[in-house]
Structure 1
């Protein structure tokens, strides 16, 4: 036998190559960018050693003060013990779970949703993946907020759809620049995305601003994708208003999950909901496309689906109130401590979600090239991880999460201040 023949050895030429589109998407992934930031960390060992402070992502579940409701745990444990939800579920999700979510969301709407308006997904991430696949067609474009969650761009680009960015206005509470939105839209624009409460900005939109968005998109002939994964996580003067309230003005696809309000991102249960009393999505075959995609994709775990009715019905308001109180405490800590860091400017105090955007003044710092360099060196020197603004489309800004234990947050922000002082030009 010749060398390599029949043994997996060298061949004259292989017929496959990597997908170049995938290889270019790491920069559009929060996980990918955080992985690069954390690459230089060497964590201290031993008793009393400094630990990494995770201010870069929105997963507070590791901190005891943010543990999920005991009723949620009991619901999942009961379903597992019953042995009744070990089988495959239907591709759109179990009907009792969908009905329960429809009733839960209808509390905030002027009309009643039905189970047929709800499609279950493996977290909100898969909901985004599905919608970007459903909308993709040659020449299509989608309007996305800047700064924003760039997973939308990653999925759009992967599906061959153009992503166009409209600006959010930091001096107006990160409202949508409606003039910018209208200037970007054309006959190939299919939808626009809003995230409310806001990731990464911590903004909460008023009823009046959402009404303007609805009227603007109706005139443009595009529908709204409302990412409401942080629904009801508000702690300022503005209360959460779902975009679905305006479903009779413009059709709305609402994306959500139990991940943030119940603090269980690892349970991977999300949804796509059609807020569309006028039946536009049915006529335009958007609903059929969603169902077709679900036919060829994976489902959320059946036992979590089975637990949803009891999880929603039994969770006490005290649990949600406690979460909000902790976030109110941590956002106050964050707001006050950021004021004391000279090279960082925070345009407004967050009123919702788990994040704040702050602007870096690189002119105050010695030998820091940009936001990515800042974050990598901060992680290496202080074991504090924050997300560089480039990961949300806002170069030389930072996204900081305050959804961690209060003492850890104080420690992390103190280390951030020490880092800035050490690299300040005035200290040289």
Structure 2
């Protein structure tokens, strides 16, 4: 007797996460055939030889005997105290350990916070391009993503006037990803002030993904949102994954700032949802205090001569030398978001390009449309490989785009002949 297919949740059909999707599965199949892949799809420092700082590793090792029990659902008290103190130094209003939530990475806390906030049909304003987990978590918590454009011709910065025009009676929150993934844009203070004023006028929660807050290049500045937001409810996300190169430890946090009375119900909802999942990974939490109070190990990587800086330089120079690419140079984070232009862009489809690049050149990138943009001529790469490998990747990309340009020229010739 054959059984009927097991049905899944219908809304999953609306969810996209190509960062670990079909192309990544095809890359694993090619690896099984013995082909060596250069994978630029995931911001995963440990996969490229980066290590979490030794003083963080020691902090876990020194406390490993204390990691067997569950801890409080919001996190270890000492870890929450360290996070609150870090945010107080930044000027975050009402930052206290009681308003800190530690999670299994920021990803879990994004999901929990949207679950605490949204009723069916509620809307969340998201940047386009966005990190697609934000869209997915909004959809899976029965909300509706509404996108404000961050256009390349504007340095991938949003237009506050457009943000305000998109607000409806169902809007509950504005999401800011700063520095941005996938574009690397860093938001200036004046822009943040205007967005905060919009949130205040419409009584919206600000949700600020600041996981890349210390990864900055060429003098770019990071401006945290919470100190500007003042009494306005604001949820600021950070963690160990990127700045401290400890993705696998799954340690993230969210700090709820602003007027405690106004956000009291939301705080209780977050606490309840945190309790239902018992607690976050305990061993990794012992590294939080060391991370926030110890040596700065990320800035040297982002300065001239540092590995991330030189990988970024390799991307910028490779794009400048290309006949087919343009780039808004990333000011922060771990990614670049080049655009395909000219003859190679004729009939260009980012997913087909990414698949051809993988099949013919053994390079895995993420199609730009995966980040919820309407155009299909961008792709994302990470800045994590060695600079020489980055240059090799772009030589391979150029070979594929040369073929695209040749095909585009042939199409134009045929059209001209018909005309």
TM-score, normalised via structure 2 length: 0.90
Residue in 1 that maps onto 2:361: 382
User: Structure 1 pair 35/24, CA: closer, same or farther in 2 (3 Å)?
Assistant: farther
Distance 2:58 2:75 in 1: 21
Distance 1:56 1:267 in 2: 20
| Candidates 32, 35, 53, aligned match of 1:69 | 53
Residue in 1 that maps onto 2:125: 143
CA RMSD of aligned residues (A): 2.3
Q: Structure 2, unaligned stretches of length 5 or more?
A: 411-419
How far 1:37 sits from its partner (Å)? Answer: 5.9
| Candidates 331, 345, 352, aligned match of 1:351 | 331
| Candidates 7, 13, 21, aligned match of 1:32 | 21
Distance 2:79 2:393 in 1: 39
Distance 1:219 1:309 in 2: 36
How far 1:173 sits from its partner (Å)? Answer: 2.1
Distance 1:194 1:256 in 2: 13
User: Structure 1 pair 34/250, CA: closer, same or farther in 2 (3 Å)?
Assistant: farther
Aligned residues of 1:386 and 1:400 also touching (Cα < 8 A): yes
Distance 1:40 1:420 in 2: 24
How far 1:10 sits from its partner (Å)? Answer: 5.2
Aligned residues of 2:102 and 2:254 also touching (Cα < 8 A): yes
1:51-107, Cα deviation, whole Å (9 max, x unpaired): 32222221122223x322111111111122xx1221111111111111111112322
Distance 1:110 1:121 in 2: 20
Are 1:97 and 2:87 an aligned pair?
A: no
How far 1:112 sits from its partner (Å)? Answer: 6.0
Distance 1:260 1:131 in 2: 21
Are 1:125 and 2:107 an aligned pair?
A: yes
Residue in 2 that maps onto 1:60: 45
Q: How many residues align?
A: 404
Residue in 1 that maps onto 2:11: 21
Are 1:324 and 2:306 an aligned pair?
A: no
TM-score, normalised via structure 1 length: 0.88
How far 1:259 sits from its partner (Å)? Answer: 0.5
Residue in 1 that maps onto 2:188: 206
1:297-352, Cα deviation, whole Å (9 max, x unpaired): 25321111233223433x312x2222223222211111110112222221x21110
Aligned residues of 1:53 and 1:409 also touching (Cα < 8 A): no
Alignment of 1:25-424 (within 5 A): 25=15, 27-35=16-24, 38=27, 41-42=30-31, 45=34, 51-64=36-49, 66-80=50-64, 83-109=65-91, 111=93, 113-248=95-230, 250-277=232-259, 279-282=261-264, 285-313=265-293, 315-317=294-296, 319-325=297-303, 326-346=307-327, 348-361=328-341, 363-364=343-344, 369-394=348-373, 395-424=376-405
Mean alpha-carbon deviation: is it higher for 88-97 or for 31-40? 31-40
Aligned residues of 1:143 and 1:165 also touching (Cα < 8 A): yes
Distance 2:115 2:36 in 1: 40
Distance 1:413 1:10 in 2: 50
Distance 2:204 2:354 in 1: 38
How far 1:33 sits from its partner (Å)? Answer: 4.9
Distance 2:13 2:342 in 1: 30
Residue in 2 that maps onto 1:3: none
Mean alpha-carbon deviation: is it higher for 194-203 or for 180-189? 180-189
Distance 1:219 1:112 in 2: 21
Q: Secondary structure at the match of 1:192?
A: strand
How far 1:143 sits from its partner (Å)? Answer: 0.6
User: Structure 1 pair 24/220, CA: closer, same or farther in 2 (3 Å)?
Assistant: closer
Distance 1:415 1:363 in 2: 18
